[in-house]
């Protein structure tokens, strides 16, 4: 479509407008700088993840490989503990461990159901911010070859903890939706209705994981 427009001569004003828009969008990238260690960490692991997704192995092989990859990469215990909010402090170590296990299985059930739909998307690191000595936010944009023209770019931010060489991903924020906050809000409502029973939440999570894996039945109860 754009070639067709540039061939016409009436478009002078519009082209100027478009050029101004392009320059404005390109500006932040013009100031080229070396990637920070946290950015490199995300970029490298995006490549690793894509290599697994695009490999020739069987579906089960790929799934297991991806699972091991995520287990090493992510700190699911950290996010699981956060989602319990203040209830965590009054939970027995055994109940907490059972909950962390159920949370991990639930997270993997969700990842694996998404995994089936993978069709060529990739992530491009756009920047990062350091919040504390060991607390970073790395911003990326999802590049989807199948996205319709003019679709909003999808921003995906990663919360990275640790020091260079020992980084883990503890949270992910998609279009401003923070996984840790969403799960905490979801769980705290459930806990409030169930006498703050982490056991009940653990049982519910197991059920949810099974439902996500089965991919059906939305009855909710």
Q: Does position 159 bind another protein by CB under 8 A?
A: yes
Residue 174 CB neighbour total at 10 angstroms: 13
From edge to edge, which strands make up the β-sheet containing 154-161? Answer: 122-132, 135-143, 154-161, 168-174, 177-178
User: Which region among 43-51, 52-60, 88-96, 188-196 touches another protein (by CB under 8 A)?
Assistant: 188-196
CA 143 to chain centre: 14
From residue 69, give the alpha-carbon distance in Å to each of 45, 64, 135, 157: 9, 9, 21, 19
Q: Does position 137 bind another protein by CB under 8 A?
A: yes
* Residues 6+ away with beta carbon under 8 Å from 107: 76
Q: In whole angstroms, how close is the CB of 117 to another protein at the nearest point? A: 8
Q: From 33, 45, 35, 36, select the one nearest 122 (Cα to Cα).
A: 45
User: Which region among 41-49, 60-68, 97-105, 176-184 touches another protein (by CB under 8 A)?
Assistant: 176-184
Q: Does position 171 bind another protein by CB under 8 A?
A: yes
Q: Does position 113 bind another protein by CB under 8 A?
A: yes
Taken in order 201, 95, 183, 46, is the CA torsion positive or negative? Answer: negative
Q: Does position 43 bind another protein by CB under 8 A?
A: no
Q: Does position 186 bind another protein by CB under 8 A?
A: yes
Residues near another protein, by CB under 8 A:
1-2, 5, 14, 17-18, 21-22, 24-25, 78-79, 82, 106, 110, 113, 129, 131, 137, 139, 148-150, 152-153, 155, 157, 159, 161, 170-171, 173, 175-178, 180-182, 184-190, 192-193, 201, 204-205, 208, 211-212, 215, 218, 220
């Amino acid at each position: 479509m754009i070639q067709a427009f540039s061939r016409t001569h009436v478009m002078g004003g519009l082209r100027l407008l478009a050029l101004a828009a392009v320059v404005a969008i390109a500006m932040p990238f013009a100031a080229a700088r070396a990637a920070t260690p946290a950015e490199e960490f995300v970029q490298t692991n995006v490549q690793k993840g894509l290599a697994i997704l695009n490999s020739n192995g069987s579906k089960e092989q790929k799934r297991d490989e991806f699972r091991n990859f995520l287990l090493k990469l992510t700190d699911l215990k950290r996010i699981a503990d956060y989602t319990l909010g203040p209830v965590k402090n009054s939970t027995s170590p055994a109940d907490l461990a059972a909950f962390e296990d159920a949370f991990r299985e639930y997270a993997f059930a969700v990842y694996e159901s998404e995994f089936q739909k993978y069709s060529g998307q990739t992530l491009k690191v756009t920047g990062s911010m350091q919040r504390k000595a060991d607390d970073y936010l790395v911003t990326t944009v999802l590049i989807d070859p199948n996205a319709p023209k003019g679709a909003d770019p999808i921003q995906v931010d990663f919360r990275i903890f640790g020091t260079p060489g020992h980084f883990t991903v503890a949270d992910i924020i998609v279009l401003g939706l923070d996984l840790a906050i969403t799960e905490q809000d979801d769980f705290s409502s459930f806990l409030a209705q169930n006498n703050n029973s982490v056991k009940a939440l653990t049982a519910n999570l197991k059920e949810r994981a099974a439902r996500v894996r089965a991919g059906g039945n939305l009855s909710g109860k």
